[in-house]
Structure 1
């Protein structure tokens, strides 16, 4: 069976129940917002009606490219700060409330974009707000899933997050193709449709969040023992006095012992003393031997995930990438949709059936090599054939055949990336950090993700205009660097427990608040 793994022979089968799967699916659905907004906007801003309404039609090519890059990049900027603010929000008020607040902010941003008429400032404001919402979701959702998941299926449940992303991305890739086939692309209502579609997945998420429970870990950190026990028994489908429940509660209490001690400091010396002690404890952890190398690894994973060129294709496939290899706008829109569908299929197959069998390193290495070859071919084809220099319908047969191979290279790149660096970056970053600082590190890696997405979104149109084929050679070079990074710095993590992972990265579990503990004894 697909969900057949168990922790041990003594693990009660009741814990693998529909409640925990529905909870994980509900929270993972937040990635659908991320996927849709990462894919639909690049095609939407090329629609004639959008260009006319916001005064882009008559602009010089360089200025139009800069405006398009700004519209896309403000989303990443908002997401960066959304991830930054997500940590204190979910640590102070809870993972569930953080997700609800983020979804409300997203909905407001989607409404602003939908009702905009000729004022592009509303588009910018809406993009910033949906970015803030998505940034917080990318920080809080993986933590939520990790905290409610039984250990044996945690990897699969985190995989739901990536699958939800791909579902949103597929819809985003295809929606504008459908509009161009069946709607008047010069009409204002046409570009409003993909803007308004944002309200569907966000509305579904907002409503469904009312039906899930806060994570037991957060509730125990807040001293709400009864609520935590109620949540845990609901998720595990076991009575409160069951040995499995008692052991899990004891394990959680052990993991949050430092926070409990700090809460005592808050009661004695006030909230500011707690605040300073709390952040000092986090600083001690993230700068410790065996932790700082993992922080660097998380930074590298998110950097290479973006710098190998995938988000350049996501955001600018139709407007920049496919036109660079000589395709018409209609063909570019169709192939953009196919590209998204192939990525989704590859993600479902890899994350659903292969990730826990083939491990982490082999897909990263093989996928990186395949992506590099695809990018180098694209650069070589454009450099040698100059497909954009020919009039429409006048391409020589050799250039046409080379272009067909270039389209295949883009598709192969998408599938190879989806089965390697795309989902594995999130999985690795969710499993390498100690539980005591996992929430903070989730926000940190999400901020790294959005920082490099911003760089790509802002730089791709100017790079395409100035570098031409060189842009693909640059992405190919980053693919090579990603392979070297994986070869030298990423160990195989499949099947490792937290204790073995700490030993692997050279971490000894020191206690940042050891002095405080001694005083309490």
Structure 2
């Protein structure tokens, strides 16, 4: 039975997950507008290298923010401020792109840099917030909505674009401007909600605000026992980290266990973007142009694919905490590899009368790419974010999540820059490369990634060769039981000074 506080926990998590709508919309909106003849004419028919640069511009802003600003901002000002500031920057940049002077591609590129910077801030703070508020037993389920909301962003962008592509003569240049301007919708919604939800209790404890942490936990936990147990665990972990481990960026490389997690998380985050999904999301329009000729038909396929992406991601909600992270990674990698191998074979080994594939071939390719999304969305889509947000200890979590998640954009920028030229020169043979990469990713997970399902965030270090921060911290704060604050008669709770004290009940 879902209690009122558990339902509220879902609500605050979904507000934070809305940051991913920003990412999903932006990743899809540029792909969508490439199909507009008015957009192409407005910016003087940009060549493939310029198209690649427009995608790279976004990643520059995102990488700079994620590596150097997202973590410190989330630690200093709070997770909510990171999400709010990112949303404000997205609104500013949306207007820059929509109302760029005719032919001024530089203004459009500048807007994409600022959007990337804003999303780098929001996408660092968002998953940390969800991971720190969610109880361990459903953390994976709640975090799966993070990726689902990426698909929601794509869904909105592609259906708006499809509606506009049905009326290009009536709308004129607004057939692409309408798609761009809709990007302000979600950041406005986020800003209207973000300061009415509680700040992360772990952030409060980091800043010595124990009453704030207790108040925040009371809003999302059902009993006083749960609240005091979690406060105790957070405090124990934080005390151990202060005494035994340094914090900040230096700790990412000094501690062997943290360093190992950084390497693993960076590899799977880069892997997410070289599965082929990132490329398809940015360039599916030009990919489908090799199979279909009608822009409205291509827009419809993209919109249907975005809709299917939401449905496919929902599989993570019931599988990630039941079967585990490794299971999804491995099954997803094998399935994606098979789909792209068959796609490449079907397209390259069938005739193209009149310069286009026959309808049955086109339908089979679309079906296979939809099947690819079925494997990708709950695994390398959702689970990469879940895994990254949960494996780091509190003293380095914000910096590590920011840096590792932006490894996606580093990898993405490399692939996105050369893919248009690669596709022009090699056609669908390019997908053999992605098929091989996906198979290698499945092998990597099998040998190197430990399972993390249902392990508390304060004790997850033990899976990577680190100490148990809760048990080590219990010795420092003087708790008799590292895992429970005994409240029935008397026991340990956390006082306003952050120290363990004895309290009597009744």
Q: Same fold (TM over 0.5)?
A: yes
Which residue of 85, 88, 107 corresponds with 2:72?
88
Q: Does 1:356 align with 2:324?
A: no
Shift of 1:150: 2.2
Q: Write the distance in 2 (CA, Å) between the matches of 1:91 and 1:426.
A: 19
Q: Write the distance in 2 (CA, Å) between the matches of 1:245 and 1:361.
A: 30
- 1:75/1:237 CA distance change after superposition, 3 Å: same
Alpha-carbon contact 1:183-1:190 (below 8 Å) kept: yes
Which residue of 88, 91, 101 corresponds with 1:104?
88
Q: Aligned Cα RMSD in Å?
A: 2.7
Moved more, 90-99 or 400-409: 400-409
Shift of 1:253: 1.8
Q: Does 1:250 align with 2:232?
A: yes
Alpha-carbon contact 2:461-2:469 (below 8 Å) kept: no
Alignment map for 1:86-485 (pairs within 5 Å): 86-118=70-102, 119-184=104-169, 187-236=172-221, 242-257=224-239, 278-279=247-248, 282-284=249-251, 286-318=253-285, 320-348=286-314, 350-385=315-350, 387=352, 390-391=354-355, 399-485=358-444
The equivalent of 1:40 in structure 2 is 29
Alpha-carbon contact 1:65-1:462 (below 8 Å) kept: yes
Shift of 1:453: 2.0
Alpha-carbon contact 1:40-1:175 (below 8 Å) kept: no
Query: Does the residue aligned with 1:358 lie in a helix, a strand or coil?
Result: coil
Shift of 1:308: 1.3
- 1:378/1:24 CA distance change after superposition, 3 Å: same
Alpha-carbon contact 1:324-1:382 (below 8 Å) kept: no
Shift of 1:491: 3.2
Q: Write the distance in 1 (CA, Å) between the matches of 2:166 and 2:279.
A: 25
Alpha-carbon contact 1:378-1:409 (below 8 Å) kept: yes
Please, which runs of 5 or more residues in structure 2 have no aligned partner?
Answer: 477-506
Alpha-carbon contact 2:268-2:384 (below 8 Å) kept: yes
Q: Write the distance in 2 (CA, Å) between the matches of 1:354 and 1:510.
A: 28
Q: Write the distance in 1 (CA, Å) between the matches of 2:284 and 2:176.
A: 18
Alignment map for 1:499-518 (pairs within 5 Å): 501-508=460-467
The equivalent of 2:485 in structure 1 is none
Q: Write the distance in 2 (CA, Å) between the matches of 1:297 and 1:347.
A: 23
Shift of 1:411: 1.1
**TM-score, normalising length: structure 2:** 0.86
Q: Write the distance in 2 (CA, Å) between the matches of 1:358 and 1:27.
A: 25
Alpha-carbon contact 2:83-2:123 (below 8 Å) kept: no
Aligned residues between the structures: 471
**TM-score, normalising length: structure 1:** 0.84
Please, which runs of 5 or more residues in structure 1 have no aligned partner?
Answer: 4-12, 57-62, 263-275
Q: Write the distance in 2 (CA, Å) between the matches of 1:315 and 1:485.
A: 26
- 1:285/1:474 CA distance change after superposition, 3 Å: closer
